[in-house]
Amino acid sequence: MISRPLDPGEAFFFMQDLVSCMNFVVFAERSTPLEPERLHNALQILQAENGLLQTCITWTEAGGMRFEPAPDLPIELQQHHTRADNWQSWIEQELSSPFATGSAPLMRCLYLDIVPPDNGMDEQGQTPVRSVLALTFHHAIADGRSGTDLLRRLLTLMASHAAPAHTTPKVLPSMLDLMPPHTRWAEQPDAAKQLRTTLITDYRRHGVLPALPWLATEASTRTPKLIRLHLTPEVTQRLITEARAHATTVHGLLCAAQLLAQFKLMRATEPTAFFLSCPVDMRPHLEPAPPVTPTGLFVSLISATFQISIETEAAALARDIISQTRLQLARGEGHLLYHLYGLDGSPVPPAALELFRKKSMASLPNTMISNVGPIAPVTNDPDVQAISFALCPMPYQSLFTAASTYQGRLILNVGYDAARLTDANAHALAQGIQDVLLALSSPSTGMGSQVPT
């Protein structure tokens, strides 16, 4: 049973969740329904295998934030019938339903039977034709890679008819425990201060960042929404090929497309600087590198400014983004993030939340992209057509685009907060992203594409 303090990364996302719900949802779309009994059994096994699925988080003055055992509480399972044109609304609801402090487990499951279009019958009376299986995580116990891997494991258990059995739960060391010595910034205050100065200097390298006129950061309500974009396997492969040919990556192109779409919506005529943030998988930068299972949080955030003009070429911008990201990771900025918020592993009292909230909400307005890359297919469940994930942006973020690739198809779940960004502007940004990506993958235009007109 786990009983330990939250490490700085876990504490950061725990408090961010209290500022604005940071749940994320991973979900599989299937061409057939599932059997509920198999789902119940598979959830029991999944919980038995993962120690963090048997914990709650407590927060006290003396002990700070801690994982504590909660072994006898089953994973919550909700089951609903819904129509094909409405199932996304259930995912959006999950993004706005936080886990209460002290509740357990810190993951829940949603199963949707998809029924045919309206034919005058009640949804409950119709035979499902498809299904969606979703897992919702408190961000302190998982990240995109571990979350999608847990979903694949759940689907595999169901397909193999696995029966519940006694299993010893597995637990990974915390991210703090795996930090290389040269990136333990709390032990090197002078070096940490110098790196912070370098980071801030880079933020200011293109001058003052403009406000995003379409983003109502002070809105008091929150309404998560999703816009879904898909690229066919053929278009996705052309994008991969073009990225490699121009010394960049698909992730770089996604970031470039989102920044170019934002510049287009701004209708600026002069060069304009924008702030980009991306979660980064820290596993390759830890010693030893941990696996993706059992579940755990092993991510940080990398942010940088980029200047866009009417002459900006997507390929050049994508190369700049990837080069800057690699530079920042090499400098240890991924390891530094939590230290900048005063989180070093020592107990954090509840009274610290208000200062954290102010610091978080003072973040520069930005746009965010999280790309987990190719997700291995569930080989014994060929009815799985897609696996992807979603998250609602923070109040100071225009979009949170969650990218994944399944069976060769690139899937983008473009998340936005309808209380802060109008539907029209959100759809304009999403259309702008799609236009850039299609132009990049088109043999007639290719990687020299500029902002589409």
Beta carbons within 10 angstroms of residue 210's beta carbon: 12
What whole-number distance in Å separates Cα of residue 420 and Cα of residue 415?
12
DSSP at 434: H
pLDDT score at 120: 54
pLDDT score at 449: 43
- Residue 332 Rama label (left phi>0; alpha psi -120 to 50; beta): left
Beta carbons within 10 angstroms of residue 218's beta carbon: 8
What whole-number distance in Å separates Cα of residue 156 and Cα of residue 162?
9
> 3-state class of 435 per DSSP?
helix
Cis peptide bond N-terminal to 377, omega within 30 = no
User: Which of 325, 432, 345, 402 is CA-nearest to residue 143?
Assistant: 402
Strand partners, 26: 135, 389
Sign of torsion over alpha carbons 374, 379, 384, 385: positive
pTM: 0.95
Q: How far apart are the first and last CA of the chain?
A: 58
Expressed in percent and rounded to 5, the helix, strand and coil fractions of the chain are: 40, 25, 35
Q: Are 422 and 214 spatial neighbours (Cβ–Cβ below 8 Å)? A: yes
User: Which of 56, 64, 63, 76 is CA-nearest to residue 2?
Assistant: 56
Length of the chain counted residue by residue? 453
> 3-state class of 194 per DSSP?
helix
Sign of torsion over alpha carbons 351, 354, 355, 356: positive
> 3-state class of 76 per DSSP?
strand
User: Which of 265, 316, 314 is CA-nearest to residue 449?
Assistant: 314
Strand partners, 441: none
The pair of structure tokens assigned to 249 is 């990556």
Q: How far is CA 11 from CA 154, 206, 293, 306, 385, in A?
A: 27, 32, 20, 30, 35
Taking only the tens of pLDDT, the chain with its 453 residues reads 899 999 999 999 999 999 999 999 999 999 999 999 999 999 999 999 999 999 999 999 999 999 999 988 999 999 999 999 899 999 999 999 999 999 999 999 999 999 987 665 556 667 888 999 999 999 999 999 999 999 999 999 999 987 877 788 999 999 999 999 999 999 999 999 999 999 999 999 999 898 899 999 989 999 999 999 999 999 999 999 999 999 999 999 999 999 999 999 999 899 999 999 999 999 999 999 999 999 999 999 999 999 999 999 999 999 999 999 999 999 999 999 999 999 999 999 999 999 999 999 999 999 999 999 999 999 999 999 999 999 999 999 999 999 999 999 999 999 999 999 999 999 999 999 999 999 999 866 555 444 444
Q: Are 11 and 346 spatial neighbours (Cβ–Cβ below 8 Å)? A: no
Q: Are 250 and 143 spatial neighbours (Cβ–Cβ below 8 Å)? A: no
Sign of torsion over alpha carbons 215, 216, 218, 223: negative
pLDDT score at 128: 84
Beta-strand relationship, 397-406 and 366-375: parallel
pLDDT score at 446: 53
pLDDT score at 22: 94
What whole-number distance in Å separates Cα of residue 275 and Cα of residue 290?
30
